[in-house]
Structure 1
Amino acid sequence: MLSAAVQILAFALALLGVLGAVVATLMPNWKVSINVWTSIMTPISQMQGLWMDCVWYSSGIFSCTMKNSVLSLPPHLQAARAGMVLSCVVALFGLCLATLGLKCTRWGGSHRAKGHTAIAAGGCFILASLLCLIPASWFTNEVITAFLTTDLPDSSKYQPGGALCITFISAGFLLAGGVIFCLSCPGKRTRRPDRASPADPDRFTLHPDERRRQGLQAEQLHSSPSKLPQTDIKDSYSLQEYV
């Protein structure tokens, strides 16, 4: 099983990935328009996210409009919504399992149970990473394809925004943390302690050969009553003749 320091590093990476995924899901700049300065009331930046569309005017006014209709959204946007929400839920569940699987915590069961819990947490983090990467990659492909194929003016074209960058970075953190946690296999212990404590079910008893060797030594020590030395026998005979 991995050391406690490596597990804490993996937990920190996974925590950063979860926070990044939640922030990226709520951010409105999944794709942004190219800035164009023309007049005071002309929008200089138009941003579209998963849940709202925002416009930033050159006068400093910033307004957002919520996307209430789900059926009117394009397929890649619906997939991005579902994937990011599921990713956040699975990653949060993985954090709960990782807390139980850390070696530095007192809860979570025995050594072997903690190892299995850590592996389950790693699987959750890897799944959450895939749920981030797939919709984000599809969304990025749609934005780049629309930017290169349409003949619209530059002011009406969109390019990938900062939320997509945060999504990819968060997916990398989740993937790294998940892989490290998946390496927390409890494995087998090679040490054979002299006694098996009933409070620790993971400890092993003595090897049969060692148990047999100790039994033979005990039999030699308690085999038969020891004979008296020759000097003691002679002293007893002389004492009987004297009497």
Structure 2
Amino acid sequence: MTNMVTEIVAFLLTISGWVLISSTLPTDHWKVSSVDGTVITTATFWSNLWKTCVTDSTGVSNCKDFPSMLALDAYIQVCRGLMISAVCLGFFGAILALVGMKCTKIGGSETTKARITCLSGLHFILSGVCSLTTCSLYAHRITSEFFDPLFVAQKFELGAALFIGWAGSVLCILGGFIFCFSMSEGFSMREYSYNGATSFLPTQNKKSPGPHKDAADQSSSARQFGRNAYV
């Protein structure tokens, strides 16, 4: 029962993290910058992995998609690949978790379900690592440009999508480790019970030597008693 509750908690953590990671892909504000006037903000510039936009004070946005993939910066290409990999790994991890959890009726024997659940945990860990690497790489590019005194172009700040991605990455990694640790504990308990049963059987055999030996011991003790009865 405890192991089942642990699996459910890990599943909720990993699914929540995967949803957060998936939501970062269409999120607009990966990096944000604004141009302030005397009273109000005149324009807000923001970008994500797919386009760059500007929103004026009236709320009207004008966006421009990034050019060809071959003309993109290398870090944006890497971020795209890692985020898509994170979403795919989390999707397959969720399917494996549904098959391998004890509260479901599919997956085969307990040993097979335990292995499937461990594999699901590894998928979620890799998904969290990919997303964490993506957000950290993108944030490093923003901060390095912001604090570089020789960088004369427009400087940006960290957007909301990066914090969402970091939160989802932590949840996926935490839930994946809980999946793996719970299943490894189950394997160790089964191995301990098996070794204990095998070591208990010879002990019983030693204590029960058989009816022939018991009869021989009783006859020898009777002879000894008869020999020393009148001494």
Q: Against the structure 1 CA distance between its residues 111 and 2, is the aligned structure 2 distance closer, same or farther, given a 3 Å change threshold?
A: farther
Counterpart CA distance in 1 for 2:93 and 2:42 is 42
Counterpart CA distance in 1 for 2:38 and 2:68 is 32
Alignment of 1:11-90 (within 5 A): 11-37=11-37, 44-90=43-89
Contact between 1:101 and 1:117, CA under 8 Å: does it hold in 2?
yes
Alignment of 1:196-207 (within 5 A): none
Contact between 2:10 and 2:176, CA under 8 Å: does it hold in 1?
yes
Tell me, yes or no, if structure 1 residue 208 matches structure 2 residue 201: yes
Shift of 1:191: 5.0
Counterpart CA distance in 2 for 1:7 and 1:119 is 11
Moved more, 55-64 or 73-82: 55-64
Partner of residue 126, structure 2? 127
Counterpart CA distance in 2 for 1:39 and 1:114 is 62
Partner of residue 93, structure 1? 92
Counterpart CA distance in 2 for 1:25 and 1:63 is 19
Partner of residue 182, structure 1? 180
Contact between 1:34 and 1:157, CA under 8 Å: does it hold in 2?
no
Q: Which amino acid aligns with 2:29?
A: N
Counterpart CA distance in 1 for 2:193 and 2:137 is 51
Q: Against the structure 1 CA distance between its residues 56 and 102, is the aligned structure 2 distance closer, same or farther, given a 3 Å change threshold?
A: same
Counterpart CA distance in 1 for 2:133 and 2:102 is 32
Partner of residue 232, structure 1? none
Q: Against the structure 1 CA distance between its residues 140 and 44, is the aligned structure 2 distance closer, same or farther, given a 3 Å change threshold?
A: same
Q: Which amino acid aligns with 1:127?
A: L
Q: Taking structure 2 as the reference length, what is the TM-score of the superposition? A: 0.78
Alignment of 1:104-183 (within 5 A): 104-149=103-148, 150=150, 152=152, 156-183=154-181
Q: Which amino acid aligns with 1:52?
A: K
Rg bigger for which structure? 1
Number of residue pairs matched by the alignment: 206
Counterpart CA distance in 2 for 1:2 and 1:134 is 33
RMSD of the alignment, in Å? 2.9
Contact between 1:17 and 1:173, CA under 8 Å: does it hold in 2?
yes
Q: Taking structure 1 as the reference length, what is the TM-score of the superposition? A: 0.74
Contact between 1:43 and 1:55, CA under 8 Å: does it hold in 2?
no
Q: Against the structure 1 CA distance between its residues 128 and 211, is the aligned structure 2 distance closer, same or farther, given a 3 Å change threshold?
A: same
- Greater helix percent: which structure? 2
Q: Which amino acid aligns with 1:139?
A: Y
Contact between 2:145 and 2:151, CA under 8 Å: does it hold in 1?
no
Shift of 1:207: 5.2
Percent of residue pairs bearing the same amino acid type: 28
Unaligned runs of 5+ in 2: 216-231
Shift of 1:159: 0.8
Contact between 2:142 and 2:158, CA under 8 Å: does it hold in 1?
yes
What do the CA deviations read for 1:81-139 (whole angstroms, capped 9, x no partner)? 11000010011111111111211111111111111111111111111111111122111
Counterpart CA distance in 2 for 1:151 and 1:78 is 22
What do the CA deviations read for 1:181-203 (whole angstroms, capped 9, x no partner)? 111122343557xxxxxxxxxxx
Shift of 1:205: 8.6
